[in-house]
């Protein structure tokens, strides 16, 4: 029998085959007796018809590094690195379905066919490493056309711009910003125009056109962005939606536009998992509902209703985040500070997959959240930025042996000896 460095099948180019896939727990318990009982974090999970090798998902992270919406080699290296280090799934950053839906002029886009090829190259590489990859489709709403964070203010504290708004000669498009109402996020943000029915239909159609491009690219799942003060969240919250028509006022009206887009997205993306990221609360002052029964801000009780409607439409997973829609929000940050929202949604809808987020870094604590049924998967961002090998670090901390990339096996003797 020849000793071959076998190529990964079904992808363009040569990449050594990893067996099992990188980040998969070894099942030979004679060699790895500690794997007899696997931590939930390293148990596979099937959502719709896609099986994820573990519960560590790379959250969408804006990189402000696209060329007129086109992914670049930065994205190949950034996302590809997570694929070689054991994450169960990767989510491409918030990707605008129309040019004016970008948060910054250097945000990712999927509004034209020329943007397919660079994303397809990334998907090909990620698949060659045995990892699933999806994309977060988005529209920035009233927070679009703003500066990247390091352009607005540098980390050294020596520079800070007097506005978040990208000017026209800097590639900005602040005159094309839309939201449900003419309410700015803050004084130094763009002033939005209230969307007409025609504009809403154009954006809805753009989401569906982007989904068709996702099929050509070969993504394994899609996440729709309805959080962090962007367009769909703008419609959901009474803090940003003051409309007097059928899309404002009552909770049912505020849900109407996001749900109609989600329904069409489900129909268009029928065969693979559909996720939705939400902000479970605005973190505004005062109660979610006042003593007169009026909703004052977006919160967990309305989120439960929203999630229930999404479950009826066939959404496969809700990614429970929070905040981003009220400039004066005050949050007590800490490990797992948002797990409470995923837990509440999981309790309300036990048959729906729930993802949890929020400065998560400690593998033992994360495992407890999953083991206690507070969520089904964990979305990580900053922890993976600091340590792309976090899945291997977590495996070592939890006493489980998982497959490193062939090229990196020599770096993990302690983990493989568990």
Round to whole Å and give the CA distance between 161 and 182. 24
**Domain 33-416 annotated CATH 2.40.40.20:** no
Torsion angles phi and psi, residue 106, rounded to 5: -105, 20
Q: Where are the domains of the chain?
A: 33-416
* Residue 230 annotated to the active site: yes
Q: What is the pLDDT of residue 417?
A: 85
Residue count of the chain: 418
Round to whole Å and give the CA distance between 111 and 108. 10
The answer to whether 266 and 224 have CB atoms below 8 angstroms apart is no
Round to whole Å and give the CA distance between 91 and 126. 11
Q: What is the pLDDT of residue 335?
A: 87
Q: Which of 64, 164, 230, 369 is catalytic?
A: 230
Q: What is the pLDDT of residue 3?
A: 74
Residue ranges, the chain, pLDDT below 70:
1, 418
107, 110, 150, 230, 354 from 96: Cα distances, Å:
8, 6, 21, 11, 24
The closest of 263, 350, 348, 260 to 314, measured between CA atoms, is 263
* β-pairing verdict for 89-96 and 108-109: parallel
């Amino acid at each position: 029998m020849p000793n071959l460095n076998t190529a990964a099948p079904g992808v363009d180019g040569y990449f050594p085959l990893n067996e099992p896939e990188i980040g998969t727990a070894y099942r030979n318990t004679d060699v790895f007796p500690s794997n007899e009982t696997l931590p939930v974090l390293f148990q596979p999970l099937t959502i719709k018809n896609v099986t994820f090798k573990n519960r560590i998902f790379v959250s969408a992270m804006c990189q402000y590094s696209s060329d007129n919406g086109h992914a670049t080699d930065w994205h190949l290296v950034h996302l590809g690195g997570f694929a070689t280090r054991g994450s169960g799934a990767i989510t491409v950053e918030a990707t605008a379905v129309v040019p004016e839906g970008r948060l910054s002029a250097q945000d990712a886009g999927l509004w034209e066919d020329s943007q397919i090829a660079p994303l397809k190259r990334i998907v090909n590489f990620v698949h060659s490493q045995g990892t699933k990859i999806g994309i977060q489709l988005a529209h920035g709403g009233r927070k679009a056309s703003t500066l990247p964070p390091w352009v607005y203010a540098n980390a050294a504290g020596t520079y800070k711009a007097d506005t978040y708004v990208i000017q026209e000669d800097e590639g900005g498009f602040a005159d094309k910003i839309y939201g449900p109402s003419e309410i700015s996020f803050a004084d130094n943000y763009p002033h939005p125009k209230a969307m007409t029915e025609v504009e809403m239909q154009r954006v809805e159609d753009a989401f569906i056109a982007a989904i068709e491009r996702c099929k050509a690219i070969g993504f394994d799942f899609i996440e729709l962005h309805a959080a962090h003060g962007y367009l769909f969240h703008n419609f959901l919250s009474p803090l940003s939606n003051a409309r007097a028509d059928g899309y404002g006022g009552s909770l049912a009206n505020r849900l109407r536009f996001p749900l109609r887009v989600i329904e069409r997205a489900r129909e268009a993306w029928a065969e693979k998992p559909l996720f939705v990221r939400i902000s479970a609360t605005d973190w505004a002052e005062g109660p979610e509902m006042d003593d007169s029964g009026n909703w004052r801000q977006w919160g967990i009780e309305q989120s439960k209703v929203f999630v229930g409607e999404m479950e009826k439409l066939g959404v496969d997973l809700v990614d429970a985040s929070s905040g981003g829609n009220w400039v004066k929000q005050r949050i007590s940050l800490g490990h797992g500070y948002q797990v409470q929202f995923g837990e509440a949604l999981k309790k309300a809808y036990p048959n729906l997959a729930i993802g949890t987020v929020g400065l998560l870094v400690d593998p033992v604590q994360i495992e407890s959240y999953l083991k206690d049924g507070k969520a089904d998967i964990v979305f990580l961002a900053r922890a993976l930025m600091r340590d792309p090998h976090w899945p291997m670090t977590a495996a070592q901390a939890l006493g489980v042996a998982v497959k490193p990339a062939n090229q990196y096996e020599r770096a993990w003797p302690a983990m493989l000896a568990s």
